[in-house]
Homo-oligomer: A and B are copies of this chain.
Amino acid sequence: MKMHIGVLGPNTTTDEQYALGVKVGRRIAEAGAILFCGGLGGMMRAAAEGAKSAGGQAVGILPGGEKAEANEFIDLAIPSDLGAYRNALLVRSCDAVIAIHGAYGTLSEIAYALRLNIPIIGLHTWEVRRDGATDPGIRVAQTAEEAVRLAVEFASTSE
Contact = CB atoms under 8 A, between A and B. Distances in A.
Interface of A: 1, 4, 34, 59, 61, 65, 67, 70, 74, 76-85, 87-89, 92-93, 95, 104-105, 107-108, 110-112, 114-116, 125-130, 137
Name the residue in A34, A104, A105 with the highest tally of chain B Cβ atoms < 10 Å from its Cβ: A104
A114 B61 CA distance: 21
A127 B125 contact: no
A88 to B, nearest CB: 5
A95 B107 CA distance: 21
Given A4-B67, A104-B137, 18 more contacts: A59-B76, A61-B78, A65-B92, A78-B89, A80-B93, A81-B83, A81-B92, A82-B85, A83-B83, A88-B88, A88-B108, A105-B115, A108-B114, A108-B115, A125-B130, A126-B130, A127-B129, A127-B130
